[in-house]
Amino acid sequence: MSTVPGSVAPLNGFAKAGFLTEFLRDTFALADIELRKLRRDPLELLTRAIQPALWLLVFGQVFGRLKAIPTGEMNYVTFMVPGILAQSVLFIAIFYGISVIWERDLGILQKLLVSPAPRTALVLGKALSAGVRGLSQAIVIYLLASLLRVRLRFGIEILGVLTFVVLGSAIFSTFSLAVACLVKTRERFMGIGQVLTMPFFFASNAIYPLAIMPGWLRTFAKLNPLSYQVDALRALMVQGGQTMFGLSFDFCILVLVLVGLVLVTAKLYPNVIR
Amino acid sequence: MLSADGGLTGYENLLLFARLYGIPRAKRRDRIIDALQFMGLGEAERTLVRNYSGGMIRRLEIAQSMLHRPSVLFLDEPTVGLDPVARHAVWQHLHELRTQFGTTILMTTHDMEEADELCEVIAIMHRGRAVAVGSPGSLKKQVGADADLDDVFIHYAGGAVDEGGGYVDSAWIRRTIKRLR
């Protein structure tokens, strides 16, 4: 063998760190890379501000006048602000899975799958970067709501809002990745993405309280993670907002859902290249 | 198939895999710079890969695959779709990879000139079987006095057109070639 001195095998015998350290390192590596891409193309996120603006400025104003929806002391626009934040985060996250189909077509996914990184880290890394995308929506909604003179909370609660935005965003983007792993083609994915957003949005407490729903729909709404996200956001974001389930309950439910989804999606991940 | 991320720089493409392969933080930057320079991409370190030429992307991929200094490297048609200059550059780097790091390279190719240039041992596949195995020299001798590897291939796999591949493989190769242009 003609090796240069100092470069004899085994060259890659690096000390193994513990699983958790490696898991966190790989998750961070994936999220970091996604954010670097995002930083080069921030305009994409601004275009996402249009839809929530329409909901708040058109739908909210009209329904606020009707006074058809019992929102207690709160006026209707104030009631729906946290719901619209959750909704616009959901709409971005639910199409995030298509990125895995792109990466499959580019051959990047195959390379990631043969690397020693745990699959759960591949999934969670993507989910967290989607979470950061969601944060941009928080900025948009805070601006819009201020323009509408909604009385927002600006204290320490903002940190809570950011936490729940990242959590919700991570949940729905992971769900989206799982769907992408099952349908495998862009065309089918776009069709299904459209179908999925509506039930998540309407079977939740985003734009009306659970109390006015018929029983069967309320059951669905209580199985819908979006309801818990909105519940927490409503308490944290607007003055006079209250939680139905309690913040720590909301938090635990969302974390459990995220963990479950990451585990399932990590199992499904190799599916997309078959 | 190309597999570098166009939205990232050459450096960032390698950084991701350096992290995932557990190269310690202290060594990461040096390893990446070394690999880029070794593949002649030192100056393109901060350029987005979407602005690379096809040959540069190929070399970047090879740089990525050698970051953690594997003892075996598998290459699938490493120069398909490249122009002669880029092709020779890739060949030269593969030679250096072998002499400098003692990497064993297992590759597939339809290009007999490439096989002749790079390989010590060649197996000619026909209908899923290795129908001839040997060094380029010995294979040529078996077929005829002044035969080249094309003659060898035709001798062993000849007659029928190869039915391998199929729709998906052809689509991959087409897409790869399209991206290289």
The DSSP secondary structure of A36-67, one letter per residue, reads HHHHH-THHHHGGGHHHHHIIIIIHHHHHHHT
Helix boundaries (H) for B105-166: 112-118, 136-143, 149-157
The model carries a pTM of 0.84
Residues 6+ apart with CB under 8 A from B161: none
Over residues A84-106, mean pLDDT: 92
ipTM of this predicted structure: 0.81
The percent of residues above 70 in pLDDT, for chain B, comes to: 86
Over residues B71-89, mean pLDDT: 86
Q: Is residue A8 part of a domain?
A: no
pLDDT at B163 over 60: no
Q: Name the average pLDDT for chain A.
A: 89
How far, in Å, CA of A178 to CA of A261, rounded? 8
Retrieve residue A173's tokens. Answer: 């983007």
Over residues A241-269, mean pLDDT: 96
Do B3 and A12 count as a contact with CB atoms less than 8 A apart?
Answer: no
Residue A200: count of CB within 10 angstroms of its CB: 22
Question: Max CA-CA distance within chain B?
Answer: 57
Helix boundaries (H) for B102-148: 112-118, 136-143
Q: Is residue A9 part of a domain?
A: no
Q: Is residue A68 part of a domain?
A: no
Do B17 and A30 count as a contact with CB atoms less than 8 A apart?
Answer: no
Q: Is residue A195 part of a domain?
A: yes
Cβ–Cβ < 8 Å for A99, A179: no
Q: Is residue A1 part of a domain?
A: no
B164 band by pLDDT with thresholds 50, 70 and 90: low
How far, in Å, CA of B57 to CA of B66, rounded? 14
Per residue in B43-74, pLDDT (tens digit) is 999 999 999 988 888 889 988 988 888 889 98
To probe the interface with A, which of B12, B15, B16, B76 has the most A CB atoms within 10 Å?
B16
Higher-confidence position of B7 and A250: A250
pLDDT at A82 over 50: yes
Determine if the peptide bond prior to A116 is cis (ω within 30°): no
Do A33 and B69 count as a contact with CB atoms less than 8 A apart?
Answer: no
pLDDT at A162 over 50: yes
Q: Name the average pLDDT for chain B.
A: 85
Q: Is residue A14 part of a domain?
A: no
Residues of B in contact with A107 (CB under 8 A): 1-3
Q: Is residue A169 part of a domain?
A: yes
To probe the interface with A, which of B2, B17, B19 has the most A CB atoms within 10 Å?
B19
The percent of residues above 90 in pLDDT, for chain B, comes to: 34
Per residue in A172-225, pLDDT (tens digit) is 999 999 999 999 999 999 989 888 888 999 999 999 999 999 999 999 999 999
pLDDT of residue B173: 67
pLDDT at A128 over 80: yes
Do B68 and A4 count as a contact with CB atoms less than 8 A apart?
Answer: no
Comparing CA positions, the residue from B121, B35, B125, B108 lying closest to residue B73 is: B108
Q: Which domain holds residue A96?
A: 19-61+73-273
Q: Is residue A11 part of a domain?
A: no
Higher-confidence position of B96 and A8: B96
The DSSP string of A179-224 is HHHHH-SHHHHHHHHHHHHHHHHHSSSSSS-GGGS-HHHHHHHHH-
Work out how many domains chain A is built from and give that number.
1
Per residue in B107-150, pLDDT (tens digit) is 999 899 999 989 999 999 888 888 889 999 998 888 887 888 88
Comparing CA positions, the residue from A174, A152, A176 lying closest to residue A233 is: A152
Residues 6+ apart with CB under 8 A from A205: A83, A221, A227, A230, A231, A234, A244
A9 band by pLDDT with thresholds 50, 70 and 90: very low
